[in-house]
Amino acid sequence: MTDGAVADTRPTKIVYVAEATAHGGRDGYVTSHDGQLDLRVAMPPALGGDGQGTNPEQLFAAGYSACFHSALVLVGRRAGYDLTGSTVAAKVGIGPNTQRGYGLAVALNVSLPLLDQERAAELVDAAHEVCPYSNATRGNVDVSILLS
């Protein structure tokens, strides 16, 4: 897209809907409608909490890393590559922004032990275009990707 236009990454058809409810915000618990998720939520010590539960940033990191890894496996399989032993680790940071609110930053660490650096970089770029989390955050959240 050389004219500066932004690609429309919205779904053309919804094939799955996840449902979750927060009770008490960052100091309560979260549940999913199907009972698969039932977790205590607590502010981390760095934000003044007791850290005695998960937090939205950990949940986002888990979701993004799983989603990005699935996108990586998809594009790798299409290209005929063996991704045995591959992993994606995510770090999600939170901090104040210039708009009197808060923002996020994401760092993804991708390991593709069976591929050379050039092929790995090509697959990571392709996965970053396919992954719904990457598409949702593009232009809104700083996402850095490191190949290890």
For 24-67, how does the pLDDT look when each residue is reduced to its tens digit (9 = 90+)? 999 999 999 999 999 999 999 999 999 999 999 999 999 999 99
CA-nearest of 83, 106, 102, 84 to 93 is: 106
Q: Average pLDDT, whole number, for the chain?
A: 94
pLDDT of residue 4: 59
Domain that holds residue 93: 55-147
Looking at the fold, whether 61 and 36 belong to one and the same domain comes out as no
Mean pLDDT of 66-90: 97
The domain tally of the chain equals: 2
DSSP per position, 81-117 = ---TT-EEEEEEEEEE-TTSSEEEEEEEEEE-TTS-H
Distance CA 27, CA 22 (A): 10
Residues 134 and 80 in one domain: yes
Q: What pLDDT does 22 receive?
A: 97
Asked whether the beta carbons of 43 and 49 are under 8 A apart, the reply is yes
- The CA–CA distances, whole Å, from 102 to 22, 27, 93, 95, 99 equal 19, 18, 10, 5, 8
With 60 as the cut, is the pLDDT of residue 3 above it?
Answer: no
Phi and psi at residue 21, to the nearest 5°? -130, 135
Q: What is the pLDDT of residues 11-33, one digit of tens each?
A: 899 999 999 999 999 999 999 99
Q: What is the CATH number of the domain that holds 109?
A: 3.30.300.20
Q: State residue 5's pLDDT score.
A: 62
Domain identity same for 96 and 111: yes
Strands 142-147 and 102-111, how do they pair?
parallel
Q: pLDDT value at position 37?
A: 96
